[in-house]
Each structure stands twice: as C-alpha cells, then as structure tokens.
Structure 1
C-alpha cells in the first residue's frame, strides 16, 4: 500500500466523521483493515494524519474518537495594554536576511553560508563525542570552558606584534553567540541613553541589539574602505561617546577591510578620547584574497574589546562566541553575562572546541576560501554582464556579501517584491543603516545555495533595473 492508499482511507474516514457527533468512537484498527482491505500500517498512517489535523483524538487503551471542533472566537487582550505600558524602546523589525526561503527560488538574502560550505562531518562527530562527555550532566564555568577560552586567546594572540602583550585565557568570556555578546557589550560598556558611535552602514543585528539596550546610536560614515577617521574624531568630540562599534575585517554589509594606516588612525583616535573600540570579527574565517587582521591583536591597553563568533563558520546550531577584554571592563562584561545567561551550554562549547582543534578544520578553511572565491567571482561577473547599471563599489576581499547600489529612483520595497515574484529573494539595504539610508542598496549573499543560478538572478535584477529606469 502507498501513501495514496492512506490518503483514500483518511478521506473516507473524514466523510464518516463529518456525519458523526463529537465523542463518537471510530471502528478499531482491525475493523478498518478489514473494511478497506489495507495493511495495519496504512490504516495507522491515515489515523495519524487525522490526529495531526485535529479531527480525531486517540485515548490510550480505549480507542479513537471524533474530536469536538471548537469554533474560533476572538480574544480580548485589551487588558495587556495597561499591564505592559508604553514601549520604551521600539525595536526595528526583523530584516529579510532572516527569512526562510522555499527551495524553488534563488536565495541571495540570507546572512548565513550554505550547508555545503560548513564542516558538517566535523560537527556531527564533535557532537557525538560531546554527548559522551561529562558536559551532558555538568555545569560549565561562568566564563566558559578553560580550553575554549585558551583557544580564543591563542587565536587572537597569534597576530600580536612584538612589544604587544597577547591576551590571556582569563581575558576571555564565552557567550551564546555574537548577538548575545553585542547586547552584553552595549549594556556593560555604554548603557541605556548613552551615545554609541557606529559605522553607517553596519550590521543590522548590532542596530537591533543597541535598540534593545536603549543606547543612542551616532552614525559615522563608512564606505568600501572603512570609516572616515576625521568624522570619527569629530563624533567623539561632539557627543562625548566612550565607545565605537566597528567591523574592521570584511564588514557586513559593505565587505570593507581597513588598511593598516586606517587601523592606526582609528586606534589613535580611540585612545585620545579614552574610549573603547568594540571590534566585531564576525568574518574572521571568511577571508578570500586577504586574511583577517584584528585590531585587538595590536592593542594591549584595554581599549579594544573583541568579539568573534563560531556560529557562521562552524554551524548555526553551535551558537558560541568569545569576548576578549582586559581590565575592569572584562569583570563588568562577565557580571552582565552571568546575569543574563549564567553560562553557555558545556555540550555546545565542547563540540565547538572539538571542531576547531581538529587537523581537518584547517583543511576545511582552505577549501572554504576557494569555494567563496569562485562563488563571489561568479556573482560579480554575472552582475557585470546582466546588470551593468547596478553599481558595485568594491569587490570584497572576504566575507559573504556584495553591497550593490541601485539607481536612486528605485523604490526598494517594490523592487524586492518584483524580484521575488520572478523567483529571486534578496535583502534591501535599508536595514543596515542606523539612521536614514544614503542610497538604494541591496546586500547580496554569494555564499547561499545554488550558485549556478547566480546568472539567472543577475538577469532578473538587470531586467527590473531597466524597467525601473526606462
């Protein structure tokens, strides 16, 4: 018997149920087998379908009964308006980058790499070993597993120049992903109502975390090569801000990587104003033609507070990140993480550590670099061929995204809807601006599924741009 047989049985039972009163007992499985000439497995499959649809219910040891279908009625939740009170900080809506796309579209919107770019075999093996360890019944230390703390410190310390003290294991705090880490940093180092300087455009999740904490965002213009250091200095002087959030390596969304000269100027400015640089090294493992060069490796005075997540490069299921801070700032950060999450699952920490300490991890990263390069170049070439009027300011040396500018007359929301109608899902760039957008942008992820469809996606973009501007 096939699934279609169980569907026919379910349809016949549905007709019987429609004429029955709630509480009516259905014939036994044996009786239904005889009535429909079907196997017990097929009958059980039909019954499970009807149970899932809520039209019948199974009572253990008694039988299966017609379920009472309750008519939907409106609920009055008006009382909650007074109980909740006014919204103190209205949060921005979720960006299109978080949407789950159906399989029959070309998806350029997501912020995550496709499954085939992840070290799935290593992750599965690591989780299996972690499940056999004491981590399944133990409580991890508040600051994290010492071995994972040491790994994050060693990774950052490997880029430390002579004369700079590398970070210690005790400088590291493990948190459940970079989003949680950013909320902690904004609370601990800035505080509600106080100014935070932030690149514009920048990571939409940082904007969301800032809104949730209630900090006051002060945009600093940032282009394909990073922020304007003179504007940064003026913003510090005018606002009295004591922190600047930035992504010096392969910024999301622009892909910018700071030059050594710019990095030095930013560090000098931060030091001069007695401030913190909150460095988000989200794309550390996604270098293509350049490697990530964290500023935190070049500064040991406590001005740079560093966050690096393994969520995107290892697996979205392993939400593990490391924060590195020195001095009293580290103590304040740890106190905040303890108040909000107590500790990170030891199983997840153990699995993440297992993956990144395997010899095969380095092999995977070399392969990943090659795959990202080919995907990036394929999308860039397709856009230049099929959508030449779209402006790509720079081809990024790493990361996952292209930052594409459309003609200024473009209605971005309508453009995104029209693309989706033609089978292409993308993310409009407005969500990446902490204030008013300075143009009409798209963020296109070249690490998503089905790169062979990139030329078709570019053709759709080109056609719609031509229709918009004609």
Structure 2
C-alpha cells in the first residue's frame, strides 16, 4: 500500500472518530495516532492536512488538533432564509436561456444548440495555436486591459472602414461584450429596442443590466425602419440592439436599402446601435454585407463580434468596437469587472486568426453548413406538413419554423424531448407575447446528415403524438 492510500485510510478512520467527538474536543497527538494506527509520522501529517482542508479539524501549533465547530443546522440544512431579505428584488432572469426541461438524456439528438458539433470545430488548429501561445516567454504576463495590440489590430481589420486598433476592446466572448455594452450605455430602468423575434441571451443580458426590452418587428428583409422610428418616438429609447447579418433565430440579413435608414433613424433619435455581428463567419458561401460599423463615422454603432460560434465553445474571445466617450465608458466597466482577458487565450486567438488554416476553415464550414441547412429544410418540410418554414437562411446555424395553427410550441418541445430530439420553443425569442407558435431548429450541433433527418422524423412523430389541433 502506498503512502497516499495509507494516509487516505487513516483520514477515513479519523472521520469516524470525529463523528463521536464534539466541536472543540482535542484529537490524540500525532505520537498517539502513530502508535494507535501503526503508521508513520508523515502519514499522520498528510491525513490531518486533508481533514483541515475539509474544514473538519483546526490545527493550533504548539497546542494540538481540535474538532472544528460545525455550522448550526435546522432541519438538516443550513438556514439561508435571511438572504431573501438581504438580496431584495434584484433577481437575474434566466428563464429565456435556461432549459426548462433540464439536460437531455443520452441518445437525444441535439437540435437546440448554438455551437458547432465537435466534428466541425477546427480542433487541431486550436490545439496547435494554444500550444504555441503557451510557449511564449510572456505567455503568463498581465495583458493590457484593452487587449493585445496585435489582436485588436486584427479585429479592427475585420470590422473594416476606418476602425482603428484603439477603437477595439477585447472581451471574453460575445456574451461578455453584450453585458458590458448594455451596462455602459443605458441606466437601470431604461428602454432598449430589440428585434422581435430576437436573441434570448441578449434579452437576458439587457434585463440583468436593469434595462427594459421593447420589441420591434422584423420581416424577411430584417428590422423595419418605419416601426423603429415609431418605437424610438414612443419610448424615448437611446439604445437599439440588432443582428444585421444572419439574425438569430430567423437567419435574415438586413436589406441594403435599410442599412442606412436604420442608422439615420438612430442618429435622429440620439441613440446608439449595438450591432451584434457574431454570425459573420457563419455564412453559407455567399456574400456577407460589411458591418454597419464600417460605414459609421460618428460613433453611433457599437460593434460586437466573437470567435466562439465559428470555432469552439471554449474559445471565449470576442471584441467590442466603439468610438468616443462610450468606448472609454466600456473600458472602465471592463476594468472593474475583471481587468483583462487571460493572455494565453488572446495569444491563441491571434495565432488562429493569423493562420491560413482559419480562412480554409471558414470556407469549408460555409459549405458544410449550407449542405446541412438544405438537408434539414427538406426533412422538416416532409415530416411536418402544415408548418411554414422561413426562407432557408444564407448563413447561421438554425431554421425558423412557424407551427401549424393550434400547436403549442412548449408542449411540442416537451413531446419532442420524449421522442429523443431537443429543439427550442419559439416563445423564448420574443420579449413580449409571441404572435404565433414557432420552433428554432439547429443543424450545426448534430453529428451528420443522418442525425438531422432522424431528428426531423422524431419531431414529426412528436407532433403526431399531440393529435389533431383545434379546427
């Protein structure tokens, strides 16, 4: 038996002894334990250290080892009721992003995810980049608060126009960027205009910042400028959040003639536009319009981008692009939050973006996503007659499906889970009451085309399980 297992066995024996003692009682001395349990002094030392780390005992040099005082319990559990009063009413609403059905059981086909299947991730490129980054002599030094200059330069070039490296703030992914932007731009209680339907995690971040999301409808050409102007006028909002490229969940792209109109309406209202551009690298092979920030010269647009969606969930690297005082405000928020993004991950991201393999990955991914989108669209049309499928998107990871009349999307989602397929209920994508029942169905998190087809078949079977809807 090795020393580790011996000390572990002794620790178990001492736990039994502790159960018979009271808080404050003194344990036998190390000499006594050595003699009683027939072990060496080093074994006793390791066992006592393990118990101290657990909080079971307290060692007092020169005095001995004592049973630690246990927290007072009521009904077998700690009494935390006092926290209800102390926390007041600042609850963080996560119902739009938390899965109400819990983790899916093994064998479930995942069509509700927002990340790439492992087989689609550039894992070899990422691993090699992280290994090279870790070998840098300054890999573990503190990074600049705004991000590595070289990485900011790459993000500035991706944004285009006259964006400069000093306009870029590196963040821990797109969600972190949204949280920073919402808190920096608008105060608690302020309205923020959002697309309807829109991205649930953005709605959650806005509400966590104390903001009040106000929906503005979109159509096949994206956000409607006429309704946007009305919403600004009625609410007095000074902030708009939108996804002009491959909008989540619908996949729409803001029409060219609306791009200038949206910015004009925002400028006339003295408002900022948060442009969420995280899907830019998820195009299906066609032309992707340049970011709104590339044509913005007066600081109206706050641009958000991220590498997480086109690469892998744990490449939590994103960026904010902004000009003027709002840029300094966001840097201040960022500095207070966590100082800086971990340097090795920034170095790895720089390695990835600087490699020819990244461009090859993006091109290859576009082809794969286009094929998967077509396979799923055909399967859904076949398996769910009566549903209205939006025009297959030219980018992104999802299809947006309007369900037949009388079908409840949350009920169908539960039935689908029982059939072994996970999809997202459309009600999660609306800031207020949805106009109809929808589903968001993903095609990037599954293993292959066969799984997509089988997932659609299971979804159709789940709809059949519910029986005919009302006439």
Could you tell me the TM-score, scaled by structure 2's length? 0.81
Decide which moves more: 203-212 or 130-139: 130-139
1:114 deviates by: 0.7
Question: What's the CA shift for 1:81?
Answer: 2.0
Aligned to 2:38: none
Equivalent pair of 1:96/1:428 in contact (CA under 8 Å): no
Query: Does structure 1 conserve the Cα–Cα contact (< 8 Å) formed by 2:170 and 2:320?
Result: yes
Residue aligned with 2:410, SS: helix
Q: Does 1:324 align with 2:327?
A: no
1:147-195 deviation per Cα after TM superposition (whole angstroms, max 9, x unaligned): 01000001111xx3xxxxx111110011111111111111111221111
Q: Choose the corresponding residue for 2:443, options 440, 446, 465.
A: 446
Partner in structure 1 of residue 6 of structure 2: none
- Residue by residue over 1:231-284, the C-alpha shift from the partner in whole angstroms, topping out at 9 and shown as x without a partner, is 000011111111110000001111111110111211221122222111000101
Residue 454 of structure 2 is aligned with which of 431, 435, 456? 456
1:267-286 to structure 2, matched below 5 A, reads 267-286=263-282
Shift of 1:465: 2.8
Which residue is equivalent to 2:121? Answer: 118
Q: What is the alpha-carbon distance in structure 1 between the residues aligned to residue 296 and residue 114 of structure 2?
A: 30
CA distance in 2, matches of 1:107, 1:60: 51
Counterpart of 1:217? 213
Q: Within 2, Cα distance between the matches of 1:232 and 1:370?
A: 35
Superposed CA offset, 1:348-396 (max 9, x none): 1100110111011111111111111111111011111221222112110
Q: For structure 1, list consecutive stretches of 5 or more residues without a partner in the other structure.
A: 1-16, 25-58, 161-165
1: CA distance, partners of 2:91 / 2:135:
46
Is the contact made by 2:390 and 2:399 (CA closer than 8 Å) also made in structure 1? no
Q: In the alignment, which residue of structure 2 is the partner of 1:227?
A: 223
* Shift, 1:316, TM fit: 1.6
User: Is the contact between residue 97 and residue 111 of structure 1 (CA under 8 Å) also seen in structure 2?
Assistant: no
Deviations 1:393-428 (A, max 9, x none): 211000001111112322322211211111111111
Give the CA deviation at 1:100: 5.1
Other-structure match for 2:463: 465
Q: In 2, Cα distance between the equivalents of 1:366 and 1:448?
A: 18
Does 1:139 find its partner at 2:142?
yes
Inter-partner Cα distance in structure 1 for 2:465 and 2:108: 21
Where does residue 107 of structure 2 map in the other structure?
104
Which residue number corresponds to residue 260 of structure 1? 256
1:353 maps to 350
CA contact (8 A) 2:416 2:422 kept: yes
TM-score for both structures, normalised by structure 1: 0.82
Counterparts of 1:291 and 1:101 in 2: how far apart (Å)? 36
1:405 maps onto 2:387 in alignment: no
Residue number among 152, 155, 165 corresponding to 2:155 in the alignment: 152
CA contact (8 A) 1:98 1:111 kept: no
CA RMSD, Structure 1 to Structure 2 (Å): 2.8
Structure 1 277/436 Cα, relative in aligned 2: closer, same or farther at 3 Å? Answer: same
- Kindly indicate whether the alpha-carbon contact (under 8 Å) linking 1:245 and 1:278 is maintained by their aligned counterparts in 2: yes
Q: Which residue of 1 aligns with 2:362?
A: 365
* Pairs aligned (count): 411
Write the mapping of 1:152-171 to structure 2, written as runs, cut at 5 A. 152-157=155-160, 160=161, 166-171=162-167
- Are 2:116 and 2:311, in contact at CA under 8 Å, matched by a contact in 1? no
Mapping of residues 411-422 of structure 1, within 5 Å: 411-422=408-419
1:285-296 correspondence runs (5 A): 285-293=281-289, 294-296=291-293
2: distance between equivalents of 1:183 and 1:300? 24
Counterpart of 2:385?
388
For structure 2, the 5+ residue unaligned runs are: 1-11, 19-40, 57-69
